[in-house]
């Protein structure tokens, strides 16, 4: 028996999130179908996170305990032959048996992309949130610094979230322009609540629109009142961008 850790990337447009759903197609279901076709049995897999319908991942990890003898360096090739074009296995490595892709995660980084133009970009359809109004990127960047720190982020958790403990630590937050029309909101922390990053993005957009004062982010957090934060931004601009585990599992960070 081995415990294997896989890194994947996926476009979430055609899926109802990562986790298995009873009446909808998910990324995990498609992965398990591919794994079953390769190893001959339906293996349980453990993801590093949950993602919502339409959300993407540049880097996502899951681990799987298996008795398959396929070498780690051959697994990505075998699975990619069985997977659709919008899911790709990037790597596979053996990890200790007690390793858990979700519980051993020490940092996650999310990226939210906005296409800031009156003219739509057909090559970013479903991959960035369209926003045609002028954007004060520096104002939004300064406002985003209010997210940094350890707080109870209940005000940035959507109804329906199952988390009992809503305290999280945000390490870094930035808003910047990439080229003429692409604006990126990047944020990292030790974990995120249900719709937390999308509510943060929506709050920054309402600050840009003058609906929320730019210096009020910290006050909104301390209020623990969801109604004081901004709207929930659309899912198609959101990516799980980076996941980090500690040196104790691999000898070096991945």
Domain residues of the chain, as ranges? 2-103, 107-242
pLDDT given at position 246: 79
The single residue of 52, 86, 152, 225 carrying the catalytic annotation is 52
> Hey, what CATH class is 107-242 in?
alpha beta
52 assigned to active site: yes
Q: What is the pLDDT of residue 253?
A: 45
The mean pLDDT value of the chain amounts to 93
d(CA 143, CA 45): 38
- Over range 120-124, report the average pLDDT: 94
Please check the confidence at residue 254 and state whether its pLDDT lies above 60: no
Based on the number of CB atoms within 10 Å of its own CB, is 195 exposed (0-12), middle (13-18) or buried (19 or more)? buried
Taking alpha carbons only, the member of 80, 87, 183, 167 closest to residue 130 is: 183
Q: Is the model more confident about 116 or about 22?
A: 116
56, β-bridge pairs? 239
pLDDT tier, 65 (very low <50, low <70, confident <90, very high otherwise): very high
Q: Does 2-103 match 107-242 in CATH topology? A: yes
Supply 6's token pair: 């896989």
Measured between alpha carbons, how far is residue 170 from residues 32, 174, 251 in Å?
32, 11, 25
Query: Taking 80 as the threshold, does the pLDDT of residue 248 lie above it?
Result: no
pLDDT level of residue 166 (50, 70, 90 thresholds): very high
CATH topology of domain 2-103: Alpha-Beta Plaits (3.30.70)
Model confidence at 251: pLDDT above 70: no
Question: Percent of the chain at pLDDT above 90?
Answer: 85
């Amino acid at each position: 028996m081995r415990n294997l850790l896989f890194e994947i990337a996926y476009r979430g447009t055609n899926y109802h999130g990562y986790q298995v759903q009873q009446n909808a197609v998910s990324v995990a279901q498609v992965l398990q179908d591919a794994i079953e076709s390769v190893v001959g049995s339906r293996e349980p897999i453990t993801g590093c996170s949950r993602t919502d319908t339409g959300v993407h991942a540049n880097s996502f990890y899951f681990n799987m305990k298996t008795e398959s003898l396929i070498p780690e360096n051959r697994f990505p090739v075998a699975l990619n032959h069985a997977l659709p074009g919008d899911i790709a296995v990037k790597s596979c490595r053996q990890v200790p048996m007690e390793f858990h892709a979700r519980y051993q995660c020490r940092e996650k980084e999310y990226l939210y992309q906005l296409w800031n133009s009156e003219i739509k970009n057909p090559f970013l359809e479903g991959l960035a949130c369209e926003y045609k109004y002028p954007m004060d990127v520096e104002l939004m960047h300064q406002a985003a610094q209010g997210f940094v720190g350890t707080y109870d982020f209940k005000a940035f958790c959507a109804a329906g979230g199952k988390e009992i403990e809503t305290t999280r630590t945000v390490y870094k937050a930035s808003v910047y322009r990439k080229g003429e029309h692409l604006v990126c909101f990047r944020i990292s922390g030790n974990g995120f609540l249900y719709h937390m990053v999308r509510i943060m993005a929506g709050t920054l957009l309402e600050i840009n629109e003058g609906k929320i004062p730019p210096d009020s982010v910290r006050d909104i957090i301390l209020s623990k009142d969801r109604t004081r934060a901004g709207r929930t931004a659309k899912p198609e601009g959101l990516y799980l961008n980076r996941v980090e585990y500690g040196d104790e599992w691999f000898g070096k960070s991945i």
